[in-house]
Amino acid sequence: EPEVTQTPSHQVTQMGQEVILRCVPISNHLYFYWYRQILGQKVEFLVSFYNNEISEKSEIFDDQFSVERPDGSNFTLKIRSTKLEDSAMYFCASRVGQVPGELFFGEGSRLTVL
Amino acid sequence: AQKITQTQPGMFVQEKEAVTLDCTYDTSDQSYGLFWYKQPSSGEMIFLIYQGSYDEQNATEGRYSLNFQKARKSANLVISASQLGDSAMYFCAMRPLNSGNTPLVFGKGTRLSVIA
């Protein structure tokens, strides 16, 4: 069964460092998302991406975040200068265009900022 | 804007019993979808069941069913014949269906513990 894959599964970084989280969505999916979940809290939307551009972003997704689809398959989230509060699980998700359009999630990338 | 409320931070259920996880929602959209996801301790988010706002029948998927009461704006998840492997966090979510790429909005979740 096709699945969304994310790398790395866990990354530890120093505050102020840049981090890139990578995702390979399911191949025939058209819509892509990044969500984050701070430990023990709700799943929060960061950004959605369609047709090679951002379609919607939350207030969390400030200037230190960026997304790219560099080669038509990978979908990356970059955090330019990490802060302690960026420590969270980051989920990539994708869906086809049709209703109901449930999101298929990757297994997440756990980011720990020290 | 959409809002999801899950009022039960934690629930316990005896193995083989049924359990209902509550979810209420608020939206001004006429056409929307309601989703339930399971998050086991390993962390991944697993899609369980979907209910469309125009669906007249309650959705069912194996041991999962969704008790959809549109007038009350509730979409409770019912798990029948609970198993130890059902112990997990459960998230209710929704999105409008006619708005392109509008993201899923999640509730805070309910932690279900199944007791042997």
Residues in chain B: 116
Q: Residues A43-86: pLDDT tens digits?
A: 999 999 988 899 999 999 999 999 998 887 899 999 999 999 99
Taking an 8 Å cut-off on Cβ atoms, the answer to whether A107 and B43 are in contact is yes
Taking an 8 Å cut-off on Cβ atoms, the answer to whether B100 and A33 are in contact is no
The nearest alpha carbon in chain B to A89 belongs to B43
With an 8 Å Cβ cutoff, the interface of chain B facing chain A consists of: 33, 35, 37, 42-47, 50, 52, 91, 93, 95, 97, 100-109
Question: Closest by alpha carbon to A61, among A76, A45, A74, A75?
Answer: A45
Tokens of A92: 């990539």
Q: Residues B71-81: pLDDT tens digits?
A: 999 999 999 99
**Helix (H) or strand (E) segment spanning residue B64:** strand B64-69
Residue A12 pLDDT class (50, 70, 90 cuts): very high
- Is the distance from CB of B63 to CB of B114 less than 8 angstroms? no
